Structure 1
Amino acid sequence: MKGLREFQIDIFNLGYKLHEFEFQIDNRLLRMYEHSLVEKGSGICKLSLEKSETMMNLHFHIDVKVELICDRSLDSFDYPIKLEESLIIKFGEDNYSLSDDVIVIKDDTATIDVSEFIYEFITLAVPLKKLHPRYEETEDDEPDLIYTSEDEDTDRENGEVDPRWEALKKLKGKK
């Protein structure tokens, strides 16, 4: 996938020192990926990139407001996201990922596209349960759903206990 030009960093010509970058985040970045959780938003990303002979340390400071759809009312609302993330890029023989925060790129790579990293950091910060701010206070008042069967309730009332549970209770007491 071809990224946006303003998110391309020419790392080949960077010196071995600390470099500062600033990127504007808007709808174009958020809509660039299919089936995106977030399609509207705006904000800023400040990137500190420290380059050495063998690797680069990238530190992202992202401050963005994204538009989410409430799971309860289907109303849209602005959700602020402020986060700091770090990434290590090592130079090597081939392109691959060592872990979530360490990747390896070829030694002769001229540019890197940070748009995908920024997009991933933002989408991972979106909560699983998206509630409009007007419902946040009422969320704590709702009872938790707990499943019980009728047999368990009647057994407790009659004083009967499943013999399998009795055997497990005996094991629990031994140490």
Structure 2
Amino acid sequence: MRKLAAYTIPFVGLKIGSHGFEYEIGKELFEHFEYEDFNNANLHVDLVLDKKATMMELFFETSGTVNVNCDLTNEPFDMPISGSLRLVVNFGDEFNDENEELLILPHGEYEINIAQYVYEIIVLAVPHKRIHPGIEDGTLKSDVLDKLEELSPKGTNEDNDNEENIDPRWNKLKNLLNDK
């Protein structure tokens, strides 16, 4: 847990009002959480802590790039991401983080560790499907892409010709859909 000390904010000494914090995030944070989908990370997190008399509001904004492998070709590339989160911190009898936008800390707490929230913002900002930008614009040259092109089905015109040679029983089934 000592590695995450940089993400601990002692709020008890802060005056009421807004306070800004900045973090540069690398691969170390993800290694701590044993998240291995990123080859590398270069992210910037801006945090505004708005301290009030009985509660706090935390506003997270993150942007930067993560190096991930393409889902189609397994080629590594830098994917730009950005994300945000608003977290309300209240005080109560016991710790409760069941709600994703509300954190309840026990009375008497004097610091908050934000590493988990930074980690979640970044991981959730990455799209489920990671496609290398070179695939979309056609500039990526890869053995995997060449093999996919070679093995892809050819000739959509042939498919239309084959429809005429379909077993007539299937055509009767198609009529069921049209007879409404």
Q: Mark yes or no: TM-score above 0.5.
A: yes
Do the aligned residues in 2 keep the contact of 1:97 with 1:103 (CA within 8 Å)? yes
Counting aligned pairs with the same residue, the percent is 27
Runs of 5+ unmatched residues, structure 1: 143-149, 170-175
User: What secondary structure is seen at the aligned counterpart in 1 of 2:43?
Assistant: strand
- Residue in 2 that maps onto 1:33: 33
Do the aligned residues in 2 keep the contact of 1:38 with 1:123 (CA within 8 Å)? no
TM-score (norm 1): 0.76
Cα distance per residue 1:105-128 (max 9 Å; x no partner): 112112111111111000001111
CA positional deviation for 1:33 = 0.7
Deviates more, 1:37-46 or 1:118-127: 37-46
Give the superposed CA RMSD: 2.7
TM-score (norm 2): 0.74
Change (3 A) 1:98 1:30: closer
CA positional deviation for 1:153 = 4.7
Do the aligned residues in 2 keep the contact of 1:30 with 1:39 (CA within 8 Å)? no
TM superposition outliers: structure 1 runs of 4+ over 2 Å: 35-39, 150-157
Question: How many residues get paired?
Answer: 154
Change (3 A) 1:50 1:123: same
- Residue in 1 that maps onto 2:112: 112
Change (3 A) 1:39 1:93: farther
- Mapped to 1, the partners of 2:3 and 2:84 lie a distance apart of 22
Change (3 A) 1:98 1:55: farther
CA positional deviation for 1:155 = 3.0
- Residue in 2 that maps onto 1:97: 97
Change (3 A) 1:63 1:52: same
Cα distance per residue 1:56-89 (max 9 Å; x no partner): 1101111121111101100110011122221111
Runs of 5+ unmatched residues, structure 2: 139-151, 153-166
